């Protein structure tokens, strides 16, 4: 039981912080580019309560932690009105990239903090508060890198899907948006159905995981 509580404490808190900052970054860039919708609705707050999706932010991550499976999740998407952006086609791409960009920035920051913690403790982080903080920082790096790469998948409803939309010929955009309306079924198919059908169809393990491993390995090599 204590191991489960420790696992949740060192994974759920970093995950919530990562996804809240991800969503706030979308809203901040949207405001900079002309759309104040998120700000007016109070979604630029770092208060997790304003962003929590009961299933995606709490129930699913806790279930994955208890099952000792890789954790992921999502928050309520920050509302963005593309028609209010000064250049909807290109600015929407920048808004989409802001979330993964924030996660990479957080991963770099956490790597630096972890390196500092290791230096302060003479390389020994195997007990007490230092170990708990180090585990949170380690998990924070992993989560942020994973979220950044996962959200850059070039399909709706991910941020990468918005980037693809901005690059498509205008005539193809309506069809692409119709796919985007099926966001939840797409997530279920990608994350649940395909992995059950065949390990070769597991998008996370085949594409996201290897790239994330390379990035995470490089980050941790900076503090060794």
Q: Name the domain count of the chain.
A: 1
DSSP character at residue 58: I
Q: What is the mean pLDDT of residues 186-208?
A: 76
Predicted confidence (pLDDT) per residue in 46-90, tens digit:
998 888 888 878 777 777 666 666 666 778 889 999 999 999 999
Predicted confidence (pLDDT) per residue in 121-168, tens digit:
877 777 678 888 999 999 999 999 999 998 998 988 789 999 999 999
| Mean pLDDT, the chain, integer | 87
Alpha-carbon dihedral sign for residues 151, 76, 177, 167: negative
- DSSP one-letter string for 157-216: TSHHHHHHHHHS-GGGHHHHHHHHTTHHHHHHIIIIIHHHH-GGG-HIIIIIHHHHHHHH
**In the annotation, is 23 catalytic?**
yes
**The model's pTM:** 0.89
Annotated catalytic residue, options 23, 35, 159, 165 = 23
Predicted confidence (pLDDT) per residue in 105-133, tens digit:
999 999 999 999 988 887 777 767 888 89
Name, in order, each residue with C-beta under 8 angstroms of 2's C-beta and a sequence gap of 6 or more: none
Domain region containing 206: 2-221
Measure the CA–CA gap between 215 and 103, rounded to whole angstroms. 12
């Amino acid at each position: 039981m204590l191991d489960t509580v420790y696992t949740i404490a060192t994974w759920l808190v970093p995950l919530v912080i990562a996804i809240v900052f991800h969503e706030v970054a979308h809203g901040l860039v949207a405001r900079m580019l002309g759309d104040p919708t998120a700000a007016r609705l109070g979604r630029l707050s770092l208060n997790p309560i304003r962003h929590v999706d009961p299933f995606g932010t709490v129930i699913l991550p806790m279930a994955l932690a208890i099952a000792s499976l890789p954790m992921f999740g999502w928050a309520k998407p920050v509302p963005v009105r593309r028609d209010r952006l000064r250049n909807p086609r290109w600015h929407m791409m920048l808004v989409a990239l802001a979330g993964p960009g924030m996660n990479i920035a957080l991963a770099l920051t956490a790597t630096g903090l972890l390196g500092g913690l290791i230096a302060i403790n003479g390389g020994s982080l195997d007990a007490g508060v230092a170990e708990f903080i180090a585990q949170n920082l380690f998990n924070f790096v992993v989560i942020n890198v994973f979220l950044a790469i996962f959200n850059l998948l070039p399909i709706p409803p991910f941020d990468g899907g918005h980037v693809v939309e901005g690059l498509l010929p205008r005539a193809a955009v309506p069809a692409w948006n119709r796919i985007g309306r099926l966001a939840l079924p797409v997530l279920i198919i990608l994350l649940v159905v395909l992995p059950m059908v065949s390990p070769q169809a597991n998008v996370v393990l085949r594409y996201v995981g290897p790239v994330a491993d390379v990035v995470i390995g490089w980050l941790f090599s900076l503090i060794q």
